[in-house]
């Protein structure tokens, strides 16, 4: 298997080096073809690596002294954070030194920098954030999840094309089932924007459009790709994560309330462990910024080691499947 080099923005996110270093080393151990460039403050990175065991031939450090803070204004980071780990990692991708970038940093800054440094693919008006959400059939790809607060119908149609290409590339689906998130499945429901987008999507026979879908359909086994604007998508994603954490915490609390509960908890512990793993958001971490001239993976801002490692593996899969080329072909090939 040919080698694959990724750039990891090691400094960004809520945990910074506390998660990015261990996650990178774990990923190297899991994938012998992987090479990683850790981008960030070199002295701090070397200190974090001091007591670690790793293959130095597959780990490189690229020094960048600054960090994009989670509350930095995206437009200002373009001017004042050109020495940041995020900016430098994207430059490595632009220059062909790496095949993808993984960052847990400021979403707005990552999108803005990516658009300026990497540029959008021809025919793409705005990039979209797409991530897998747990579902009965494994997961459902959902986009946009926050890159675009408002969208027009044409942009939603582009999201449908890109999301379909992603599902084909990563899951091997020949005709991914695609739906538009709406307040109801009936044709007369929804805003004029959603209805216009439905007309555009349904008119393209390359897309396996199954119609409108409601929020609970995200978790069904009937849909592979769910399309919505970034405002709705981000709210829905956070609700999903919050619900999963709430259910987990409530179950733990109930089993600790009494002796009977503790005994019952011991009996069902294997089942609960499997359930907790199935709904664990960290397993599904790694949102792809679709529509860029390169693979950029946005890891959750609060990513722990397991979560950040998932994002690294997601980046490797996207590169191996030639995702960028597939999306470019999908966007720029007119229907015959």
Domain check: are 221 and 116 in the same one? no
pLDDT at 279: 52
Q: What share of the chain is helix, strand, coil (3-state, %, to 5)?
A: 50, 20, 30
Domain check: are 100 and 171 in the same one? no
C-alpha triplet 271, 275, 277: angle, nearest 5°: 120
Residue 335 lies in a domain: no
Tell me how far apart the alpha carbons of residues 29 and 27 are, in angstroms, rounded to a whole number: 5
Domain check: are 169 and 219 in the same one? yes
pLDDT at 98 over 80: yes
Residue 313 lies in a domain: yes
pLDDT at 260 over 90: no
Domain check: are 149 and 115 in the same one? no
What is the overall mean pLDDT for the chain?
Answer: 88
Domain check: are 59 and 86 in the same one? yes
Residue 27 lies in a domain: yes
Residues 133 and 240 sit within 8 Å (Cβ to Cβ)? yes
Tell me how far apart the alpha carbons of residues 250 and 192 are, in angstroms, rounded to a whole number: 40
126-139 per-position pLDDT tens digit: 999 998 888 887 78
pLDDT at 335 over 60: no
Tell me how far apart the alpha carbons of residues 253 and 258 are, in angstroms, rounded to a whole number: 10
Residue 307 sits in a domain of what CATH number?
Answer: 3.40.718.10
Residue 331 lies in a domain: no
pLDDT at 267: 67
pLDDT at 311: 93
Q: Give Cα 9 to chain centroid, integer Å.
A: 15
Burial of 336 (0-12, 13-18, 19+ CB in 10 A): exposed
33-55 per-position pLDDT tens digit: 999 999 999 999 999 999 899 99
Would you state the structure tokens that stand for residue 303, as one six-digit string? 């990513």
pLDDT at 236: 86
Residue 115 lies in a domain: yes
pLDDT at 64 over 70: yes
Domain check: are 108 and 138 in the same one? no
- Which residues span the domain enclosing 226? 126-284
pLDDT at 22 over 80: yes
Question: What proportion of the chain, given as a percentage, has pLDDT over 70?
Answer: 92
Contacts of 122 (CB under 8 A, 6+ apart): 328, 331, 332
Query: How many alpha carbons fall within 13 Å on the CB side of residue 242?
Result: 6
204-248 per-position pLDDT tens digit: 999 999 999 998 888 888 899 999 999 998 898 888 778 777 877
Domain check: are 193 and 306 in the same one? no
285-306 per-position pLDDT tens digit: 778 999 999 999 999 888 899 9
Residue 99 lies in a domain: yes
- End-to-end C-alpha distance for the chain, whole angstroms: 36
Closest CA to 40 of 70, 10, 16: 10
Domain check: are 114 and 220 in the same one? no
Count: domains in the chain: 2
Residue 329 lies in a domain: no
Domain check: are 98 and 74 in the same one? yes
Domain check: are 110 and 132 in the same one? no
DSSP annotation string for 85-98? HHHHHHHHHHTTS-
Domain check: are 133 and 119 in the same one? no
C-alpha triplet 181, 283, 167: angle, nearest 5°: 45
Tell me how far apart the alpha carbons of residues 79 and 228 are, in angstroms, rounded to a whole number: 31
The model's pTM is 0.87
Q: How confident is the model at residue 253 (pLDDT cuts 50, 70, 90)?
A: confident
DSSP for residue 118: T
Question: What proportion of the chain, given as a percentage, has pLDDT over 90?
Answer: 63
pLDDT at 336: 40
Domain check: are 110 and 2 in the same one? yes
pLDDT at 269: 66
Residue 336 lies in a domain: no
Would you state the structure tokens that stand for residue 227, as one six-digit string? 């399309």
């Amino acid at each position: 298997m040919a080698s694959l080099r990724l750039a990891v923005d090691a400094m960004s996110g809520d945990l910074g080096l506390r998660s990015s270093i261990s996650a990178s080393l774990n990923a190297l151990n899991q994938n012998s073809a992987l090479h990683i460039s850790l981008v960030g403050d070199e002295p701090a990175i070397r200190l974090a690596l001091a007591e670690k065991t790793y293959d130095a031939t597959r780990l490189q450090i690229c020094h960048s002294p600054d960090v994009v803070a989670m509350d930095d204004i995206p437009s200002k980071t373009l001017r004042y954070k050109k020495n940041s780990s995020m900016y430098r990692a994207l430059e490595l991708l632009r220059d062909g030194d790496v095949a993808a970038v993984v960052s847990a940093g400021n979403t707005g800054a990552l999108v803005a920098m990516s658009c300026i440094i990497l540029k959008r693919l021809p025919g793409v008006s705005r990039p979209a954030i797409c991530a897998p959400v747990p579902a009965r059939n494994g997961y459902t790809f959902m986009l946009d999840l926050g890159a675009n607060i408002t969208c027009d119908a044409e942009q939603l149609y582009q999201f449908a094309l890109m999301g379909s290409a992603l599902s084909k590339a990563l899951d091997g689906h020949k005709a991914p089932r695609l739906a538009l998130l709406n307040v109801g499945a009936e044709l007369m429901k929804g805003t004029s924007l959603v209805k216009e987008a439905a007309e555009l999507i349904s008119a393209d026979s390359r897309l396996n459009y199954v119609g409108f879908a409601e929020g609970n359909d995200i978790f069904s086994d009937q849909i592979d790709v769910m399309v919505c604007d970034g405002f709705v998508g981000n709210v829905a994603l956070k609700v999903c994560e919050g619900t999963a954490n709430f259910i987990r915490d409530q179950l733990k609390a109930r089993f600790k309330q009494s002796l009977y509960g503790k005994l019952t908890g011991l009996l069902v512990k294997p089942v609960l462990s499997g359930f907790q793993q199935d709904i664990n958001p960290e397993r599904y971490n790694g949102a792809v910024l679709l529509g860029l001239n390169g693979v950029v993976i946005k890891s959750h801002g609060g990513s722990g080691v397991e979560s950040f490692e998932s994002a690294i593996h997601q980046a490797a899969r996207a590169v191996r499947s030639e995702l960028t080329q597939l999306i470019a072909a999908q966007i720029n090939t007119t229907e015959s």
